[in-house]
Amino acid sequence: MDNYWQSVYRVLAGSGAYITDPDGRVLLVNPNYRDHWLFPGGGIDEGEEPARGCVREVREELGLELVAGQLLVVQWNDALPPRPYPLVHFLFDCGTLPADTPIALQEAELDEYGFFSVDEARELLPAPAHARLVLAAEARDSGTTRYLLNGG
């Protein structure tokens, strides 16, 4: 039986937060270890379910205590070098922040944050993440969950 579990297909898992401001712009973060912006979020820890991972990452990265609401998008990304495994990403609706909400940026990992329109975000996000953003906005409006294969 041990050999079986060693042979099972492996997948990485991450979760993120779809957070907007009162004008409907999405909150993105600029990690100092990447050359592009991302949704707040990250890898899901061992024994942690996706919504809990999302809440933890938002707390760590932004100092915000939010609730992971509706699952908006599940995205499957095939393995691409240097990542040896596929990645499944869960994007949760974490609501709209009032304009005066203080954000405590995790400076060890993040250089900055900002709120961006879908069009502005196209220049900042990698294509698969931008496709996730477009579907997340649609899913929030329609009350549905969307599935995205790779970049769409």
CATH assignment of the domain containing 115: 3.90.79.10
pLDDT score for 127: 93
The answer to whether the beta carbons of residues 92 and 70 sit under 8 Å apart is: yes
pLDDT tens track for 60-78? 999 999 999 999 999 999 9
Q: Classify residue 72: in a domain, yes or no.
A: yes
Q: How confident is the model at residue 8 (pLDDT cuts 50, 70, 90)?
A: confident
Length of the chain: 152
Do the bridges between strand 41-43 and strand 71-77 make them parallel or antiparallel, or are there none, so unpaired? unpaired
The domain in which residue 55 lies consists of: 10-149
User: For residue 18, which of 40, 34, 36 has the smallest C-alpha distance?
Assistant: 40
Predicted confidence (pLDDT) at residue 1 exceeds the cutoff of 70 = no
- If one counts the domains in the chain, the total is 1
- pLDDT of 6 over the 90 cut: no
Share of the chain above pLDDT 70, in %: 99
What are 111-143's pLDDT values in tens digits?
A: 999 999 999 999 999 999 999 999 999 999 999
Looking at the DSSP assignment, which residues form a beta bridge with residue 114? Answer: 28
Find, among 142, 48, 40, the residue nearest to 91 by Cα: 40
Inside any domain, residue 137: yes
Give the angle 55-87-152 at the CA atoms, nearest 5°.
100
* Coil/strand/helix, residue 67: coil
pLDDT higher for 10 or 147?
147
Within a domain: residue 115? yes
136 belongs to a structural domain: yes
pLDDT band at 9 (very low <50, low <70, confident <90, very high): confident
DSSP H or E run through 89: strand 87-96
